[in-house]
Structure 1
Amino acid sequence: MFRVLKQLGSPIITFTRQDCRCLATRIPQKRFRHIYREANKCADCLASIGSLLDSDFAVFSSPPVDLLSFLEADATGLFVHRLCTESLLVV
C-alpha cells in the first residue's frame, strides 16, 4: 500500500487520473464518493492482488482464493462498522 501511495505523483498515475477526469466529463450526471475499504473488501482485496502482479492486466477464470471469503460476506450482506476519529465526525 505504501508503495502505491509513493507513486501517486508518478507520471503514470497523473496521466491515469487526468484520463479519468476527461472521460468523466462525458457523463452528464455523475457523482463520485469515497468508499472506505472496509465497505468494499472485495475491491480492496483485488487491488492488493493486482499490486503484486507483474502484468498490467489480468483476467481470472474464477475468483482468487484470497477473495472467496469476502465474496461470501458480500453475498450474505455482512455489515462492517468503521471506527472514525473525532475529527472526521460531522455533528
Structure 2
Amino acid sequence: MSADTKTPFERVNDTLAQLKEMRHYSKNNVERLTAQWLLFDGELKKLKQAANIEALMTRQGELHDALEAEISALEELVVQLQPAAEEDAGGGTVH
C-alpha cells in the first residue's frame, strides 16, 4: 500500500512501530554505554574524558525518555483512530 492511500490510523501505526524500534535500540545503547562506563570509569577520569561520556549518557537517556513519551501519546491516538478506521472500512455504521 502506498503512502498516499494509507489512512491516518495506518500512518500512526507505522510511526509507532518505528518509534518502538528506535526505543529498543536506544535502550540497548544506554545499557552498552553504561557497561563501558563502569568498566573504564577510572581510566576515563584519568584521561579527562569522563565528563564527555557522562554527557552522552545523559543525552541518550533523554532521547529514550522522549521516545517513551511519544510512544505513549501515539498509542492513545491509535485507540482514538481505531473505531473511525473500522467504521470507514465497513461502509458505515450498523443500525
Return the TM-score normalized by structure 2. Answer: 0.26
Q: Which has the larger Rg? A: 2
Return the TM-score normalized by structure 1. Answer: 0.26
| Structure with a larger share of its residues in helix | 2
